[in-house]
Structures are given as structure tokens and as C-alpha cells.
Structure 1
Amino acid sequence: MHARDRRRPTIRDVAVEAGVSRATVSRVLNGASRVSPSALSAVNRAIERTGYSANLHARALSAGRSHSVAFLLTEPQDRLFEDPNFSTLLRELSRALAQQPVPPVLVLVVASTQPDRRTMLDYLSQQVDGVFAVSTHRGDPLVGELLRAEVPMVACGRVLGQSLPAPSVAADDLEGARVATQHLLDSDRSRIAMISGPMDTSGGTDRLGGYRSVLGDRFDPRLVAAGDYSYASGAGAMRALLEEEPGIDAVFAASDLMASGALAVLRASGRAVPEDVAIVGFDDSSYASASDPPLTTIRQPWDRIAEEMVRLLLALIEGREPVSVTVPTRLVVRESG
């Protein structure tokens, strides 16, 4: 092999291979938005063919970057395995990162206790380039410390109770809950209960807000029981609701996992679903289609959420201004209601 064949490829080589200008290649490498889809595709193919990715690694190191990002979960560790939303988001984030010219390493960090959070603060502020914050709660001190340390961070769901701006990607929880509740009203249900999420999360407050806005004057606070998105909390909330109002004929649960717990309680009480009580969940997780009967639910587009989270985090790492994005949900009608 000639010496010139062993030299490291340059931006010029990528530009020639892609048939575009060096300025266009530079814009792609820096994540600029002013690049046509065809040019972006051509440049990414040229980067792969020329092997320019090695140069990107070197550039990251010279800039003092680790070329890694963290998936930060501040829930108990067992929730990572119980709640399919977390594993789905982790998978979709990995897939979206893999589309980058040089995919950053995705590191899983679980910090459910205060000692864990103190330990992880130094790590997250010094050893990774950015953080995906998952399932944040109002006023989370670790999230606040990361914001104050100016660590690039994008949350899944709106962040509550922080004085500094916290960029996020969220499903349209408010509208999704409105659609779910209206669907039950349109199905001639009159005593519609809700199992809400935690009130210190944006999903908890927004989904309750959507349910309440549709019911208007018919809203009855006795027909709302709070859960924490777990199966057990859905079952407990359903038992409490039936004790308060045995005549419930529909339930909107703020997660499929809680809806599954509610379904088990309804069946144990001798009530048929959907004949006696209709159920609508939220997420369109694996629990929804595997349930018996399969759950009517609100679909969160996890692939789109992950793509937007990656796009925003990489932009923050490059020094751009923080922004937030809301993505639409949609109703998926199955047999539960």
C-alpha cells in the first residue's frame, strides 16, 4: 500500500466522495440544520466509505470529550425491569445514537437513593458529554445540580420545579388523556374513574388535567386514585375506587402497567371487561397487546421521542440553545373499551 493510501481521510476526501462542498460536510459534522436530506445521506455514506470516523473520534478527544452519554434513571432499580417503557426508550435511544457518524457510548446510570445521587453527580458532571434524564420528579435535586453545573441534559417528559430551563421531549400527555376520556364518554360510559400517575411528574399532572378538562362539571375527585405507574399501584388504586364507588363503568389508567393491575382486580371482583367496566391505558406498551382482553390505549411514539432526544442533546453538546419538543400521541382501540 502506498503511503498516500495510508493517510487519514480529510473533510476534502469526504466532500469529493459525497459530491458536495467541504462547507456542507462541515455543517453535517457540526449538526447544523441547514442541510438537505439528500446531502446529509450522501455525506454520512461518504464518511463510512472513507473511514473519516476515526478523525471524529480524535476531534472529540481533542475537545476534552468522553464521547459517551448517560441514560439516567432516578427510580428504584427494579422498575427498570418491570416497566417496559424504560427498556423501550433505552433501546430506541441506542438505535437513534447508532445513526450518528460515530455513535457515542450510551451508559446506564441508576440513582434511586440520595447516596447514589451524590455519587453520580461527580461522574455525570465530569465523565460524560451529556445526560438523558428519564422519569424526573418535581424538584429532583440531582437534576437541579446537573442544570447548575451546565451539564448538557435532555429530559424525557417536562421537568417540574426547577428554576433553570430544562430542555425536554414529551408526549402530548394532556391531549392524549383528553382523547382517552372522550373515547370512553363516546362509548356511553357515565361513571369514568381515573388512576393517575404521581403528581410530582409532568405525566401525572398533565394526564389528570386532560381527563378533568373533558369531564368538566362532571368531574368527581372521589373517582380519582393516584398510582406510581406500577402494576401493584394500579391494582391498589382499583380496589380503592371500587370501594368508593362500586358503580364505576369505565377507568382511564395513566399507564398500561397500572391498567393491567386494575384489570386483574376487576376480574377478581367478578366484573367483566369491557361489558361491565371499560378500561383505557396509556403508552401502548407490550402489556397492552398481551393483556386479556388487549388494552385500548394511547400510543406514545417512543422512536420519535428518542430521535428528538438525541437530536437535542447533541445540539446542546455543541453549545446550542436549549429547546423543548412535544410529540403527538394517538388512540389505539382494542378490546378493553
Structure 2
Amino acid sequence: MTSTPGRQRPTINDVAEQAGVSRGTVSRVLNGGRWVSPDAKAAVDAAIKKTGYRVNPHARSLATNRTGSVAFLLTEDHQQLFEDPNFSALLKGAAAALADSDMSLVLIMAGSAAEQKRAVAYIEAGHVDGVLLVSAHSGQRLLADIVGSGVPAIACGIPLGYQKRMGYVAADDEEGAREMVAHLRSLGRRRIATIAGPLDTPGGVTRLEGYRAELGEDLDEALVRHGDYGRASGEAAMRDLLAAEPDVDAVFAANDRMAAGALDALADAGRRVPEDVAVGGFDDSSIAESTSPALTTMRQPFDRISSEMVRLLLQLIDGQKPAAITLPTELVRRATT
């Protein structure tokens, strides 16, 4: 196919349509063929020949080199980056680890379906060498799209439903929850409630599993409540527990923000902490030391989590197979127990 006067030159979109693939796949073929299956590459090559598409040689020579950047993809709304100290800790740690390898970090906020679609298009277009995926929820199309793109990616926490196909770094949520519940039981507490996180998140699922496993035959499902990891949801759950189960004498919240909300509700109800109700959280974020009383919690090693995520991602970019790491948590006892 040759160009004729007055006819528009074929574009990358024409190639994608002819090959039956995405624009991002065509872009990756043009940029050296990274993360593209042999069949897809053959289809793109044939479409280029049929459409007569021509690549700018200078642009292509630049594009065949790595970008030297990695995406920090946070699948929460923008406000969460500032409200949840865990995300800022992970972001800071990842940036520091990448700096040691002379690489840049690109922050992508993608809380809505539309933002996630744009994020995937950006990533597939070859603008970054890999993805650090933070706070992915099961059921989101994003996980499938990232896995399907073939772009190197490492998740923070178990990527529910994709743990066999995507590498990850996670804290030992189940064991951490068991240790906290065992600690509360060692204090003589017998009516131990929990405020679990969302069940579409790894922490929401596995910390609840740890709570249930540790209580065993003493488990009372009437003492289980759920929140969204926000402080207000922890307060609402605690108020509901006090109204329905007034003899509750301890509560394990699946993160520090919900634990802080539980403390707010207990203070309003005139319950003393820890004399009447002991409270334990999870994370050991900056919130844990600012509550009144200071919060007993399970410490996640955020610095190591972020550095290990970067290490595994760089290995993946270099062609190694995906790997998964689970890191231990640590009980930090303060004034709420």
C-alpha cells in the first residue's frame, strides 16, 4: 500500500484495527516488542505491511530504550493518599528504593473505573517499564487488565484472584491478626470483637481469617463488624457493637484508622480504655501514637515492603519470573491494652 496525494497517512490506530489488537500492543511492538506475544507481534507486523504505516526512525530509536521510570498505581481516590498514612509511607519508600537504581517514580491515582481505564492505556503505551500496584480490590477489571497487558507488575498485598499470575509483597496479615487476638486473650478478655476491613481487599479477608482462627470454638459471629478502613467507619462499627453487644471487653480493628474511630466511640460512651474495653489496631501508622490513649497495634514493615516491591519489580523487568514475599508483623504494645 502506498500513499497517494490527498490521502491521510496511516496511523497507529489503523494498524491496531487491522491487527485486531490494542493501540498499546502496537506501540510495544514498535518500541522493541517487550511484553508482546509472538502471535500478536506477527499480527502487528502484517498490519504494518498491509497499511503501509511508517515509523519515525528517530522516535523509534529513542523508544527502544527503557523509560527509566516505574508507575506507582494507587487504586483509591485522591483524598486517600493524604488521609491514609500507609500510602504515603509506601510511596516514599518506593521512591527512595528506585532512586538507588537511578529510576523515577510516576504516581498514578486511579480510584474510579474511568481513571483505571486511562491508567491502563498509559501503561500499555510503554510510558513506564513496570508497575507497583497498591490497594487493588478483587473484582476490579484493573487486575485483569494489568495481568493481560504483560507489563511487569508487583502488587502490595496479595492480588486476590491473581496470586498465581502476579508477584507481590505482603505482610503476614493472618498471623498478625492471630497474634493480636492472642494478646487480648492473654489479658483475660473473653468478649473480643473485630472491625474487619473490606472483603475485597487482602487485609480485609486475611485479618478476619486470623481473628476467626485464633478464637476457634470461642468465636461469636455476633461480634464481627465491617468497615471501609476509614476512621468514621470504625466509630460507626464500635457504636453498633456497644448497642448490640454491651458486654464486649476487647476489640481488634483491622487497621489503625478504624481503631482510632473505635476509641472515639468508646470515649463518647463513657467506656474506659483499656479498663473496660481493650483496643488493638493494625499497621503501626503515625495515627497509633497520636490517639488517646496511644494505640496497641501490629506493625507492618512498610519500608521493607516498598523496597522489596521495587527489588522484585526490577528483577521482573530484567526478565526473571514473578516472585512473592510475605513479611512478618510485630506486636507494638501501648496504652490501649
Superposition TM-score tier, normalisation by shorter sequence? 0.7 to 0.9
The aligned counterpart of 1:325 is 325
**Do the aligned residues in 2 keep the contact of 1:283 with 1:300 (CA within 8 Å)?**
yes
* 1:153-302 mapped onto 2 (5 Å cutoff): 153-162=153-162, 165-302=165-302
The residue identity in structure 1 corresponding to 2:109 is V
Farther-moved stretch of structure 1 (222-231 vs 117-126): 117-126
Partner of 1:119: 118
Determine the C-alpha separation between the residues in 1 that align with 2:155 and 2:189.
Answer: 36
Cα deviation, 1:300-323, whole Å, max 9, x if unaligned, reads: 001111111010000111111001
In the aligned structure 1, how far is the partner of 2:81 from the partner of 2:63? Answer: 35
Q: Which amino acid aligns with 2:81?
A: L
C-alpha deviation, 1:163, in angstroms: 8.1
AA in 1 matched with 2:105: L
Could you state the TM-score of these two structures normalised by the residue count of structure 1? 0.80
Amino acid of the residue matched to residue 108 of structure 1?
Answer: L
Equivalences for 1:66-77 in 2 at 5 Å?
Answer: 66-77=67-78
Task: Give the CA deviation at 1:115.
Answer: 1.1
Q: What does residue 88 of structure 1 align with? A: 89
Check whether the contact 1:139–1:162 (CA below 8 A) recurs between aligned residues: no
Cα deviation 1:100-127 (Å, max 9, x = unaligned): 2x2x110111111111111111101221
Q: CA RMSD in A?
A: 1.4
In the TM superposition, residue 222 of structure 1 has moved relative to its aligned partner by 1.0
Q: Distance in 2 between matches of 1:255 and 1:298?
A: 9
Pairwise CA distance, 1:226: 0.6
| SS of structure 2 residue aligned to 1:128 | coil
- List per-residue Cα deviations over 1:188-240 (Å, max 9, x = no partner): 00100000011111111110011111100111111010111111111111111
Matches within 5 A, 1:34-49: none
**How far, CA to CA, are the matches of 1:105 and 1:292 in structure 2?**
39
Letter of the 1:237 counterpart = A
Residues 123-156 of structure 1 show CA distances to partners (whole Å, capped at 9, x for unaligned) of: 0122111111101111321121111110110000
Of 203-212 and 137-146, more deviation after overlay is shown by 137-146
Comparing 130-139 with 63-72, which one deviates more in the overlay? 63-72
Task: Please give the alpha-carbon distance, in whole angstroms, between the structure 1 residues aligned to 2:107 and 2:123.
Answer: 11
**Alpha-carbon deviation of 1:78?**
1.0
Q: d(CA) in 1 for partners of 2:257 and 2:163?
A: 32
SS at match of 2:132: strand
Cα separation, 2, equivalents of 1:240 and 1:282: 21
Q: Matched residues in 1 for 2:180 and 2:268: separation?
A: 25
Letter in 1 for 2:97: A
Inter-partner Cα distance in structure 1 for 2:71 and 2:154: 11
CA distance in 1, matches of 2:264, 2:333: 20
| Same amino acid, percent of matched pairs | 52
2:35 corresponds in structure 1 to none
The one-letter amino acid paired with 2:239 is R
Residue 7 of structure 1 is matched in structure 2 by none
3-state SS of 2:252 partner = strand
Cα distance in 2 for partners of 1:248, 1:309 equals 39
How far off is 1:96 after superposition?
Answer: 1.4
Change (3 A) 1:163 1:251: closer
Unpaired runs of at least 5, structure 2: 1-60
Aligned residue number for residue 313 of structure 2? 313
Q: Name the residue aligned to 2:143.
A: 143
Is the partner of 2:303 in helix, strand or coil?
Answer: helix
| One-letter amino acid of the counterpart of residue 187, structure 1 | L
Structure 1: gaps spanning 5 or more residues: 1-59
Match of 1:20 in 2: none
TM norm structure 2: 0.80
Q: How far apart, CA to CA, are the structure 1 residues paired with 2:188 and 2:274?
A: 12
Report how many aligned residue pairs link the two structures. 276
Contact kept? 1:147, 1:164, Cα under 8 Å: no
Whole-angstrom distance in 2 between the partners of 1:62 and 1:239: 57
Aligned-partner Cα distance in 2 for 1:121–1:98: 24
Residue 105 of structure 2 is matched in structure 1 by 106
Residue by residue, what CA displacement relative to the aligned partner does 1:143-194 show, whole Å, maximum 9, x if unpaired?
2111111011000000012386111000000100000000000000010000
8 Å Cα contact 1:156-1:309 kept in structure 2: yes
Contact persistence 1:181–1:211 (CA under 8 A): yes
1:291–1:252 CA distance, 2 compared to 1 (3 A): same
